[in-house]
Chain A
Amino acid sequence: MPFGLSLLAQEESKAVWGIFTAGQAGAFVAVAIFAILVYVMITRARAGQSIREIHKIPGLDAISEAVGRATEMGRPVHYTMGLPSITDPQTIAAFPVLGYVAKLCAQYETRLINTVPDVVIYAINEEIIRQAYLEAGRPDAFNPDDVRFITDWQFAYVAGVLEILAAEKPAAQILFAGPFYAEAMIFIEAGALAGAIQVGGTASTAQLPFFVAGCDYALIGEEIYAASAYLSKEPIITGTVVGEDYFKFLIFAAIIVGTLIATFATSNPLATFMTS
């Protein structure tokens, strides 16, 4: 059946308020409020008005320390994103940090090894690192062989990284930003055995305890998403983080109101609206 006819044959689901897909109206309103808040903060930043600053994030400050240590020891830096996917925001949040690390490595003349288990991310990472070396004024120092696609098979990738950690003995390992799964703990311990200083960050909550326990510096949850604003010190990007903080207050208010309604009222209009 042709594509259009097959769609006509589908049973029509009911629209909410005649506009939204069923189950998406509440989410759309929340998204719209969030987008407006972020836009207002960006506009304030563009106009030069004062906005709040991001608090100190020791994990991000430690990255330059880690690269510096690798430079002093004459050993490479290893950067892994875990099992990244281009559809995951954690992976998107890792790109600016990879660029920052690559630029530092280029400036300090330190070798950067980036292992990747995803072919799309491999292509993007290679471009990010190449550009970072170019921006640092050292395009000749970029070695494409140091951006390595190993395999997209989780534990085969782990085996490949273990070999690199054992053979190359990096002095610093950056595990940023995920998503990470069972391989995280193996990387962290193998990095510790190689004597590497380790900076890790993820929003994969199941792996967070391992990062906190095993890494020298750990970034928790939303800190990874503030990385690009923190490292670039760009007021406009900082504005998006501030907008996010204000929206968090709204969520806390909604949680309190929702809890009170669920406790004392017979029906919960807030829950009904959010799932409408």
Chain B
Amino acid sequence: MRKEVPMVLTVLAGLFVIVAKYLHAVDQLGWFTVGNRWFQIVYAMFFLLGVVSLTIVHGKNVQRRRSKWVYSLILLICMYGYGILTLEQTVDGPEANWIYNNIIVPSDSTVFALLAFFITSAAYRAFRIRTREATVLMITSVILMMGTAPIGDTIIPGWGTLAHWLMDVPNSSAMRGIQIGAYLGGFAVALRILFGLERAHLGGAS
């Protein structure tokens, strides 16, 4: 029963979406919109779980004075402090807004900026010419980098056109082929759930 009931509910929810989405008479009833609202409410309830998980993991770190326990303490203070602050003055309150604009946003941008360095180091690893595929990757990327920078067309007129052709024709067609396969694969997964064949989301390895 522990797996059967959730499985039946999943199948019913899947059928509900199909019927609500495709059949005009049902679509007019607005069930799909109501179902979406239910989903949002249930989803919001799950946030409590996240808070409990963080509190347990980091609470244990602080309690047992594990290494770097100070960071766990800072996390707990920030989480509960910001939560209480926004409960008191909403997210648009002056202090809450200040914290968001002056701490959260710059921290976010800092981590995002790491991407530039990681892409460079990944490019170095990928472009080392060891195999036939790596050679093709290297040649293509040189053509693209030179073609999209103004210097490419200055050195050899038409280089930019070649770079754009590479992006628009071979790259786009390959990407679309992958996308068609991926969408069909995704739909096959949905059908497996509807037919009750896919049960991994209910727990276990089988």
Q: Within 8 Å of chain A (Cβ to Cβ): is B179?
A: yes
Residues of A within 8 A of B170 (CB): none
Across the interface, do A236 and B197 meet the contact criterion of CB distance under 8 Å?
Answer: yes
Across the interface, do A221 and B21 meet the contact criterion of CB distance under 8 Å?
Answer: no
Q: Within 8 Å of chain B (Cβ to Cβ): is A253?
A: no
Which of A55-63, A64-72, A125-133, A256-264 binds B? A125-133
**When each residue 113-149 of chain A gets 1 if its CB lies under 8 Å from chain B and 0 otherwise, what string results?**
0000001101110011011101110000000110111
Q: Complex Cα distance A62/B21, Å?
A: 40
Residues of A within 8 A of B1 (CB): none
Closest Cβ–Cβ distance, residue A80 to chain B (whole Å):
15
The interface on chain B, measured as residues whose beta carbon lies within 8 A of the other chain's beta carbons, has a size of 64
Q: Complex Cα distance A132/B49, Å?
A: 21
Residues of A within 8 A of B107 (CB): 155-156, 159
Across the interface, do B185 and A92 meet the contact criterion of CB distance under 8 Å?
Answer: no
Across the interface, do A128 and B200 meet the contact criterion of CB distance under 8 Å?
Answer: yes
Across the interface, do B201 and A213 meet the contact criterion of CB distance under 8 Å?
Answer: no
Residues of A within 8 A of B121 (CB): 189, 192
Which of B53-61, B84-92, B145-153, B157-165 binds A? B53-61
Across the interface, do A89 and B46 meet the contact criterion of CB distance under 8 Å?
Answer: no
Nearest CB in chain A to that of B111: its residue: A155
- Interface residues of B: mostly helix, strand, loop or mixed? helix
Q: Complex Cα distance A131/B205, Å?
A: 7
Within 8 A of A (CB), among B1-34: 18, 21-25, 27-30, 34
Across the interface, do A228 and B182 meet the contact criterion of CB distance under 8 Å?
Answer: no
Q: Complex Cα distance A123/B60, Å?
A: 20
CB < 8 Å neighbour of A128 from B185, B195, B203: B203
Closest Cβ–Cβ distance, residue B194 to chain A (whole Å):
8
**When each residue 114-135 of chain B gets 1 if its CB lies under 8 Å from chain A and 0 otherwise, what string results?**
1100110111011000000000
Q: Within 8 Å of chain A (Cβ to Cβ): is B93?
A: no
CB < 8 Å neighbour of B126 from A15, A98, A214, A221: A214
Q: Complex Cα distance A214/B137, Å?
A: 13
Across the interface, do A205 and B179 meet the contact criterion of CB distance under 8 Å?
Answer: yes
In the complex with contacts A156-B107, A247-B184, A20-B23 CB distance below 8 A: yes
Across the interface, do A156 and B201 meet the contact criterion of CB distance under 8 Å?
Answer: no
Residues of A within 8 A of B34 (CB): 3
Q: Within 8 Å of chain A (Cβ to Cβ): is B50?
A: yes
Q: Within 8 Å of chain B (Cβ to Cβ): is A222?
A: yes
Closest Cβ–Cβ distance, residue A93 to chain B (whole Å):
5
Closest Cβ–Cβ distance, residue B97 to chain A (whole Å):
17
Within 8 A of A (CB), among B176-206: 178-182, 184-193, 195, 197-198, 200-206
Q: Which residues of B contact A (CB under 8 A)?
A: 18, 21-25, 27-30, 34, 39, 43, 46-47, 49-50, 53-54, 56-57, 60, 68, 104, 107-108, 111-112, 114-115, 118-119, 121-123, 125-126, 137, 175, 178-182, 184-193, 195, 197-198, 200-206
Q: Which residues of A contact B (CB under 8 A)?
A: 3, 7, 10, 12-13, 15-16, 18-22, 24, 27-28, 31, 34-35, 38-39, 42, 87, 89-90, 92-93, 95-96, 98-100, 102-103, 119-120, 122-124, 127-128, 130-132, 134-136, 144-145, 147-156, 158-159, 162, 167, 182, 185-186, 188-190, 192, 203, 205, 208, 210, 212-214, 220-222, 224-226, 228, 232, 236-237, 240-241, 243-244, 247-248, 251
Closest 7 CB pairs of A and B: A225-B185, A89-B186, A213-B126, A15-B24, A131-B204, A222-B185, A222-B181
